[in-house]
Amino acid sequence: MKEEIITSGRMIPNIDPVLHVWHWQIPVYLFLGGLAAGLLFFASYYTLTGKTKNFPTAVKIGPIIALFAIVLGLIALLLDLKHPLYFWQLYTTIRLESPMSWGAWALFLIMPMAVVWIASYLKEIFPKLDSRKKFASLLKFIIVETETDKEFNWDWKFNWLRKFEQFVIKERKPFAWIMIVFSVILGVYTGILLSAFNARPLWNTSILGPLFLTSGLSTAAATIMWMSKNHTEKIVFSRIDLLLIVVELFFITHLFMGYVAGSQVKIDAAHYFLGGEYTISFWVNVIILGLIIPAILESLELLKFKVPIAIPAALILWGGLMFRFIMVDAGQVTRYLY
């Protein structure tokens, strides 16, 4: 008689033995959401501190990048939804105990804020925009075009838009206070969205919220540092990013200390990064390429060594993106068995 041990009656791909329901769309969405939150945070912060002229890229250009990041992130999120046409149902209720509800409403409110912020700076960002350019032609329905010199005129066609623009410019600091609050909520939400899953030991830790916020601020600082043409602004954001890298490394260290000192499922979750299948990808892409090497390069730059700013900035963005890919993928592998 031949005996066989049946361990499972199912062998469904991506379900047995582990459940993978979140694919590339979610880490991309989390990365872009964190980047947008960081960019809007810095734009608001330097407006509140009265340093708009010293940091033009952070205040004026950063929100434009943030708006594109939010739009692309929402597209990625819609691609992940099983029934994308029903996304509006998220806005039929408010559930304070649901991180997804917080995130949905934060995105719903912060996106028009970014649009208004950008619109209030259009005259300063594009002072000599010619009406023959394609971008100008897209805005003719709300902006006046002069007939004589064919130059683009940034005066709003509708009087209520003109008054609203003047109001936003006049009350920019109170508006910045609102935007900075929602940017922090959005940045923290990208981590809390994962930590709220109690059934996933890797995600179920309170450190993910501040860790993802710090990572988002770091990627935003790197983006501003890369885009800026102002030497002083580059140096300041290089220092800010160096500090954020140190804070991020501290949070990651604290994260793994919590795993190792926790229950057996937490220890097993940590093992995936301390000798398991995610060890090489995490330590090479996130820690070494995404944090340590950029920190060394930025330190050398601050010591007056000539370092191409694009290298540390690109590495930080790569590390931030890979961090989310690895955390989302590895979190779905970890589970409670006892």
Provide the residue ranges of all domains of the chain, joining segments of one domain with +.
21-131+172-196, 201-338
Given a cut of 50, whether residue 132 has pLDDT beyond it is no
Residue 288's contacts (CB-CB under 8 Å, 6 or more residues apart) are none
Would you list the DSSP string of 115-140? HHHHHHTHHHHSTT-BTTSHHHHHTT
CA 100 to each of CA 39, 40, 165, 281, 326: distance values in angstroms, whole numbers, following the listed order = 22, 20, 32, 28, 21
CATH number assigned to the domain covering 21-131+172-196:
1.20.1630.10
Would you list the DSSP string of 135-168? HHHHTTTTEEE-SSS-BEEEEESSHHHHHHHHHH
Q: Tokens 């970890």: give the residue.
A: 334
> ω into residue 17 within 30 of 0, thus cis?
yes
pLDDT tens for 275-299 read 888 899 999 999 999 999 999 999 9
pLDDT tens for 101-113 read 777 788 888 888 8
Average pLDDT, integer, range 46-55 = 88
pLDDT tier for residue 301 given thresholds of 50, 70 and 90 = confident
How many residues would you count in the chain?
Answer: 338
Given a cut of 70, whether residue 116 has pLDDT beyond it is yes
pLDDT tens for 186-229 read 899 888 888 877 778 888 888 998 999 999 999 999 999 999 88
pLDDT tier for residue 316 given thresholds of 50, 70 and 90 = very high
Average pLDDT, integer, range 14-18 = 55
Given a cut of 80, whether residue 173 has pLDDT beyond it is yes
Given a cut of 80, whether residue 48 has pLDDT beyond it is yes
Q: What is the pLDDT of residue 154?
A: 60
Average pLDDT, integer, range 133-161 = 58
Per mean pLDDT, which range of 114-118, 134-138, 219-223 is the poorest?
A: 134-138
Q: Which residue has the higher pLDDT, 249 or 162?
A: 249
Average pLDDT, integer, range 251-267 = 88
What is the reported pTM?
0.84
